[in-house]
Chains A and B, each alone.
Chain A
Amino acid sequence: MDNEKIDQIINAHQGKPSSLIMVLMEIQSLNGWLPKEVLSKVSEKLTVPLTRVMQIVTFYKTFSLIPKGRNEVHVCMGSSCHSRGAVSLMNKVQDLIRIRPGETDSESKFSLESGNCLGCCNLGPEIIINGKHHARLTPDQAEDVLKNYK
């Protein structure tokens, strides 16, 4: 955890309660998750009660209160991918990495998310791992894609 950078983000918005979501978003993307002590600091510096911070953090799907795996696997479950076989792809991915959407495995290798439409419907069904798109996949091809991630 890069405390210095986190402090920088928080200090840039000091005393501005309306920046709450922005600050949390920046820390989430920097750190991958939101530890309790960071949330307390955000609450104090932005003058927002901790309960409100918790309300926002638990409301949005992007925020995580637990550390994520080294590789974030995102199977698009938008309507177009759904029409093109995303359900069987998702089932296969779950079988392969043995976790369900929203979970992280015990070795912190993978986190799995059932993803919203990212607007790349020409690529569907697809798996996005750490931001990289693996397009037009059949369930059988999923293993070859996943084995490249350690």
Chain B
Amino acid sequence: MSRINSAAQLEELRKDILSKRDPDKTCIAICSGMGCHGLGNDMVISALEEEIKKQDLENKVDIRVTGCHGFCEKGPILVIYPEEICYMEVTPEDAAQIISETILGKKVIDRLIYTDPNTGEKAVHQFEIPFYKNQTQYLISYNPKVDPKSIDDYLANGGYSGLSKALFEMSPEQVLEEVKKANLRGRGGGGFPAGRKWETARNAPGEEKYVIVNGHEGEQGAYMDRAIFTGNPHLVLEGLIIGAYAIGSHQGFIYTRHDTPQLKKNIDIALAKATEYGLLGENILGSGFNFNVEVHFDVGIFVSGESSALMSSIEGKNPEPRPKYIRTSVRGVWDMPTNLNNVETWANVPQIINKGAEWYTSIGTEKSKGTKLISLSGNIVNTGVVEVPFGTTLRELVYDIGGGVPNGKKLKAIHFGGPMGGSIPEEFLDTPLDFDELAKLGAPIGAGGLLVLDEDTNMVEKTRFFLDFLANESCGKCVPCREGIRQMAKILTNISEGNGKEGDIELLEEIAEVAGTASLCALGKTASDPLLSSLRYFRDEYEARIK
């Protein structure tokens, strides 16, 4: 493959790729996300490959191993194109029947399609299944259509057209203006407007500027960034390059997890392919813009997802946060202006450039625009990754999409934001998904991990569990966080074990206030949030355990 040297050549290549593809050719797209992988999808893949070979269908049927389709609960999942027949909980033993009956006989296998557990209704296609039907997908919708190792698949689906538009039809200022107008807010936890952050980095003095993809995703029960990054790495990369162009950066970093081999592999391949095609490196697409990317890994501590700790880690030092009197967008990696956004934020950028801020702001609520990826976990029927517009109610998320609470149990609480988030009781289920509305209630969205808790949940124990986790993951640099969390966890253990004393709750509140005010970084500042929210809504459970 020779490199692409202009916008026209990119479009030519895209046309060429599409002309060689027959949209009516049968293709089996098998989910290879974390969830399906853990359920043994590799055996299903090899069984299907073998069967195709046996039936001499290699030229008639394609197999596409893709990223996460979202419906992890029912894995291993596959979709057969062009009919879009969706099969679930597929085993290697099903392979022969799938090939002979569905691929050759054009007949749907009844036992492999979705059956609604409540109504008994069946659904053959993805778009008829309530889990998918009630979503609005703009980001994860690519996943079943793209082999993450194939840049051609991404190009065939319109990939890198946003980058080409930004480089050849827009000035860096115009790109920045568009992202600001779109009111894209950071998806990593804070919800800070990405455009404003970009502008700060752009205007800050410094001979070198850096951009970073934060793919740390340390929040428990949050796995949507991995779904996007593993399943469609070029989408994130395209967003990053557009951002670098707007900010005036020529060096980017990807910071991600070391414990997900598939993710690492797909990122490496994506970077190599993008460089080969001239979409990364020197003189991108012949525009004169240069940009390179380096990959760094977290090797196992939660705090390294914090922006200043992460930057310190890129420099090869301990991931210890520093006070942010001066923001990292002014002084970050090696004291140079550094703009950091998380995976999902970057993934939103190409479509904003392609379809414009006006389109983007038509989705969502007044102050939270676009869609949000949410991972559903805990006591819920349909565990998985979903994408919904802001403004969707929690009830729709938990019941219409999530299928409710399993085993006939009642819902007790919704916990958002992982160990630094908060829990709200069932009565707030009609709250819309919105950065500010949920923060007001004490359950900020965080990265988007939604944990459903059923009636059997002991809220004191759950809070102790989160604080215990944070006590181990704190870097220990500042005293309020290191000691505060430890002491709170200790008091909660006592209460949990029935050894609580009069005055414990007040002491907890006092420590929470100090740790919340005086800690260096967000870990310490928000470590007591689960405690405070559960004291706000479930105080009686604490009082009942104190003699």
B131 within 8 A of A: no
A125→B413 CA distance, assembly (Å):
20
Cross-chain contact B299 with A80 (CB below 8 angstroms): no
B283-339 residues with Cβ-Cβ distance < 8 A to A are 296-297, 299-302, 313-319
CB-CB nearest in chain B for A25: B299
CB of A72 to closest CB in B, whole Å: 12
Mark the stretch among B108-116, B154-162, B377-385 that contacts chain A. B377-385
A24→B297 CA distance, assembly (Å):
11
B465 within 8 A of A: yes
A73→B230 CA distance, assembly (Å):
25
Contact of B300 among A22, A55, A62 (CB under 8 A): A62
Indicate with 1 or 0, residue by residue over B198-223, a CB within 8 angstroms of chain A CB atoms.
00000000000000000001111111
Chain A residues whose CB sits within 8 angstroms of the CB of B444 once the complex forms: none
B39 within 8 A of A: yes
B72 within 8 A of A: yes
B34 within 8 A of A: yes
Chain A residues whose CB sits within 8 angstroms of the CB of B462 once the complex forms: 82-83
Chain A residues whose CB sits within 8 angstroms of the CB of B419 once the complex forms: 79
Contact of B301 among A59, A118, A119 (CB under 8 A): A59
Cross-chain contact A79 with B38 (CB below 8 angstroms): no
Cross-chain contact A83 with B301 (CB below 8 angstroms): no
Cross-chain contact A18 with B316 (CB below 8 angstroms): yes
Cross-chain contact B299 with A62 (CB below 8 angstroms): yes
CB-CB nearest in chain B for A78: B220
Chain B residues whose CB sits within 8 angstroms of the CB of A18 once the complex forms: 314-316
Chain A residues whose CB sits within 8 angstroms of the CB of B379 once the complex forms: 83-84
A103→B366 CA distance, assembly (Å):
52
Interface of B is mostly: mixed
Cross-chain contact A117 with B221 (CB below 8 angstroms): yes
CB of B336 to closest CB in A, whole Å: 14
CB of B45 to closest CB in A, whole Å: 16
Interface of A is mostly: helix
> With A118-B260, A119-B223 in contact, do A56 and B318 touch (Cβ < 8 Å)?
yes
CB of A131 to closest CB in B, whole Å: 8
B543 within 8 A of A: no
Indicate with 1 or 0, residue by residue over A91-118, a CB within 8 angstroms of chain B CB atoms.
0000000000000000000000000111
CB-CB nearest in chain A for B316: A18
B457 within 8 A of A: yes
Cross-chain contact A120 with B316 (CB below 8 angstroms): no
B457-501 residues with Cβ-Cβ distance < 8 A to A are 457, 462, 465-466, 469, 475
Chain A residues whose CB sits within 8 angstroms of the CB of B75 once the complex forms: 122
Indicate with 1 or 0, residue by residue over B416-439, a CB within 8 angstroms of chain A CB atoms.
001100000000000000000000
A19 within 8 A of B: yes
CB-CB nearest in chain B for A63: B299
Cross-chain contact A133 with B377 (CB below 8 angstroms): no
CB of B60 to closest CB in A, whole Å: 33
Cross-chain contact B299 with A83 (CB below 8 angstroms): no
Q: In this complex, which of B302, B379, B383 has the most chain A Cβ atoms within 10 angstroms of its Cβ?
A: B383
Extra contacts besides A119-B375, A122-B72 (7): CB < 8 Å: A25-B299, A48-B316, A59-B301, A61-B299, A84-B379, A117-B222, A133-B39
13 A-B residue pairings within 8 Å (CB atoms) = A48-B316, A62-B259, A63-B300, A78-B220, A78-B221, A80-B220, A83-B378, A120-B38, A121-B378, A122-B35, A122-B384, A133-B38, A135-B38
> Lowest 6 CB-CB distances: which A-B pairs, in order?
A119-B223, A80-B377, A133-B38, A121-B377, A122-B72, A18-B316
